[in-house]
Copies of this chain bind each other. A is one copy, B any other.
């Protein structure tokens, strides 16, 4: 709850900056349909239709159904609780009349999942309640507010993230000793999950592909669970994995090479693929500064890889990380249809980003590294100790 109060305070400052008078998160049965804003600025669920309201003047208001009121009154982040029994409309309109906001942000966005927590049915319901009032025309998307709020990490948030990152890298260190020909991808995943449980932390995303483990050539590639495929000498192996500490995520990838009999180091083509990936990350990170346009950073890594004769990666260079492993907002994104307008957005100070290019090394597997950087006024600072050389097994 301390974190919630800190972020609500930050939200008020962002409303002032963006000249938005009121931010309305409108939900019902939110444990079934959890608007991602709730984790940031509410910290609890409610059953009936509930309006969680943050105002530019600092007032915080919850309009809530009778049975939910008792638990909401315990929420220190919401000073005013307005209860209703039969329907929310009259009480909600009462609050709007009292505050008379000129711009009201609601949670919808074509481009950003994290700012798109309002369902279409709830949108229609809200519009029907506002019919005939001046407020219907004052609605705007909360996309910029949520992007700033999730993006600009407070020092508490950076501290939590550093812990999650350190723990992940410590586990990767232990993994190196565990890897051996004959073990399966699933064995490796089990080894990691055991460590995670011992540390008493949560996974950063769904257990079916956290950790994701890929060994050798022609595996599924990404977003796929570990299989019974066995590690063999001559494989390039990579793992994608993260944990959640105090609600904040890490998301990191590392690459190993399993040496064949007599090999001191990796074959030239494996080493070269790894080096191209590593250098593409360095180049991208060096170009990151507040105000730089998102797609330009993706283009730096992408062209470094294609200029070296490899195919381009079939995804974005990186995304923001925070409470969610994929935290939304402006990432390091190519100008592809599916990223909407986000690739044209600018990087903001305080944001935390992954950088995660990949390339296939024919006959061996995939080289991929995922680092995490924090964007300061001076540029990108690595929160993860970068992988400089291929891990050899």
Chain A interface residues (CB < 8 Å from chain B): 28-29, 31-34, 36, 44-49, 65-68, 70-71, 85-89, 108-125, 128, 205-206, 208-209, 220-225, 314-315, 324, 326, 336-338, 340
Contacts of A222 in B (CB 8 A): 67
CB distance from A148 to the nearest CB of B (A): 18
Contact of A108 among B28, B45, B121, B337 (CB under 8 A): B121
Q: Given A67-B221, A87-B338, do A29 and B119 touch, yes or no (CB 8 Å)?
A: no
Contacts of A224 in B (CB 8 A): 70-71
CB distance from A45 to the nearest CB of B (A): 6
B110 near A116 (CB under 8 angstroms)?
no
CB distance from A337 to the nearest CB of B (A): 3
Contact of A47 among B49, B111, B116, B326 (CB under 8 A): B326
A113 near B70 (CB under 8 angstroms)?
no
Cα A233 to Cα B66 in complex, Å, equals 29
Cα A117 to Cα B340 in complex, Å, equals 21
| A71 to chain B: closest residue by CB | B224
| A90 to chain B: closest residue by CB | B337
Q: Given A109-B121, A120-B123, A338-B48, do A315 and B67 touch, yes or no (CB 8 Å)?
A: yes
Contacts of A89 in B (CB 8 A): 337
Beyond the given pairs A67-B315, A110-B121, A110-B125, 17 more chain A to chain B contacts, judged by CB atoms under 8 angstroms and listed by A's residue number, are A28-B113, A32-B326, A33-B33, A33-B36, A33-B116, A33-B117, A48-B338, A66-B315, A68-B223, A71-B220, A86-B338, A87-B338, A89-B337, A109-B121, A115-B121, A120-B120, A123-B123
CB distance from A256 to the nearest CB of B (A): 21
Copies per complex of this chain: 2
Contacts of A29 in B (CB 8 A): 113, 326
Contacts of A336 in B (CB 8 A): 85-87
| A336 to chain B: closest residue by CB | B86
A31 near B206 (CB under 8 angstroms)?
yes
Cα A340 to Cα B128 in complex, Å, equals 12
CB distance from A345 to the nearest CB of B (A): 16
| A65 to chain B: closest residue by CB | B338
CB distance from A147 to the nearest CB of B (A): 13
A324 near B124 (CB under 8 angstroms)?
no
Cα A326 to Cα B34 in complex, Å, equals 14
B70 near A223 (CB under 8 angstroms)?
yes
Cα A341 to Cα B121 in complex, Å, equals 13
B128 near A110 (CB under 8 angstroms)?
yes
Contacts of A88 in B (CB 8 A): 337-338
CB distance from A359 to the nearest CB of B (A): 15
B220 near A70 (CB under 8 angstroms)?
yes
CB distance from A208 to the nearest CB of B (A): 8
Contacts of A116 in B (CB 8 A): 33, 119-122
Contacts of A47 in B (CB 8 A): 223, 326
A324 near B32 (CB under 8 angstroms)?
yes
Contacts of A125 in B (CB 8 A): 110, 340
Contacts of A109 in B (CB 8 A): 121
Q: Given A71-B220, A114-B32, A222-B67, do A314 and B85 touch, yes or no (CB 8 Å)?
A: yes
Contacts of A123 in B (CB 8 A): 120, 123
Cα A349 to Cα B161 in complex, Å, equals 51
CB-CB nearest 6 A-B residue pairs: A87-B337, A70-B220, A116-B121, A108-B120, A120-B123, A86-B336
CB distance from A321 to the nearest CB of B (A): 13
| A27 to chain B: closest residue by CB | B113
Cα A82 to Cα B293 in complex, Å, equals 32
